[in-house]
Amino acid sequence: MAKHEFDVRRLPGFGVVAIFTLILLYLPIVVLVIFSFNEAPSQSTWGGFTLQWYVAAFNNAQVIDVSIRSLWLALVAAAIATLLATLAALGTTRVGRFPGQTMIYALINQPLMVPEIVTGIALLIFVAFLKVQTGYAGMGYLVMAHTAFCIPFAYLPIRARLETMDLTLERAAADLYATPVKAFTYVTLPLLVPGIMAGFMLGFVISLDTVVITEFVKSAGQDTLPTYMLGQLRRTVTPEMNAIATLFLGLSLVVVSLFFLITRKRG
């Protein structure tokens, strides 16, 4: 008698649950996008198609200012986090077993396991202490906080890439008298580039989206786009906020799509 392989799609109610889950996840986003083109200022009544809210968003100097700040912060934080994550991944995969290796892995991934609100409060206390001691209140604190929060997100795809790489080429380079630096430069690094790019883009999206960390660390005049939108939504919800959110969503989708395309690349 032939054995039948398990297929989750054959479970009773699988289709209903899958459809319900997709609706629950994406229907609110679809409604948001549709009402960003609503001519009426209402969030519940359709008044016709218009692009006026997108025009208003592009003509809003404050929106442009916080958007540029968000992009700059995400790029810098993701770049630093990716560099540190690459070094950490190499240090935990290209060396033999040593005491404390598991603890180091756990510490690197700590932001993934601890609630974001806890990390935000810890950073608030730490940054407040530094501000009092140094008198500095610039963007450096946001860069530091976002970098620390993004490191584990960049670390995971880079480590995964290293663990799936065939060591044959690295060993062959060593057999051909290549120094460790040359072997890394000409063999390991080119093979690692997809993982590094994926880690950078994942860190970029995380930094671009985070609200809690930014709210706790930022000083006056350092709003990012998410914190600006949160402040506006506390006052009133307008289709302009829908338009900004839709543009923000589009940018995130592009970056996430590139992340998945790169992580699927082999060799």
Of 183, 167, 186, 199, the closest CA to residue 85 belongs to 199
Instruction: For tokens 């663990």, name the residue.
Output: 163
Beta bridge partners of 49: 38
| Number of separate domains in the chain | 1
* DSSP for 67-111, written as a single string: HHHHHHHHHHHHHHHHHHHHHHHHHHHSS---TTHHHHHHHHTHH
The mean pLDDT value of the chain amounts to 83
How many other C-beta atoms can be found within 10 angstroms of the C-beta atom of residue 143? 17
Residues 237 and 42 sit within 8 Å (Cβ to Cβ): no
Give pLDDT, residue 1: 45
Query: Would you say residue 61 lies in a domain?
Result: yes
Confidence of residue 145 (pLDDT cuts 50, 70, 90): very high
Mean pLDDT score, 242-248: 85
Query: Would you say residue 85 lies in a domain?
Result: yes
Q: If DSSP codes are grouped into helix, strand and coil, which group holds residue 163?
A: helix
User: Could you read off the pLDDT of 52-72 as tens digits, one per residue?
Assistant: 889 888 888 888 899 899 999
CATH number for the domain harbouring residue 252:
1.10.3720.10
Query: Would you say residue 52 lies in a domain?
Result: no
Q: Could you tell me the residue range of the domain that residue 236 belongs to?
A: 57-263
Residues 165 and 192 sit within 8 Å (Cβ to Cβ): yes
Give pLDDT, residue 267: 44
Q: Work out the angle between the directed axes of helices 101-108 and 140-164 (0-180°, nearest 10).
A: 130
What are φ and ψ of residue 49, in 5° steps? -85, 135
- Cα gap 188→172, rounded to integer Å: 12
Pinpoint the alpha helices (H) of the chain.
14-35, 52-58, 61-93, 101-108, 110-113, 116-134, 140-164, 168-175, 180-183, 189-209, 212-217, 225-235, 239-263
Rounded to two decimals, the pTM is 0.81
What share of the chain in percent tops pLDDT 90?
13
Query: Would you say residue 207 lies in a domain?
Result: yes
pLDDT surpasses 90 at 143: yes
Largest CA-CA distance found in the chain, in angstroms, rounded: 77
Query: Would you say residue 154 lies in a domain?
Result: yes
Beta bridge partners of 165: none
Give pLDDT, residue 258: 77
Query: Would you say residue 51 lies in a domain?
Result: no
- How far CA 29 is from CA of 44, 126, 129, 175, 260, in Å, comes to 15, 36, 40, 55, 21
b/e string for 65-79 if b means 16 or more Cβ within 10 A?
A: ebbebbbebbebbbb
Query: Would you say residue 193 lies in a domain?
Result: yes
Query: Would you say residue 13 lies in a domain?
Result: no
- Cα gap 224→65, rounded to integer Å: 9
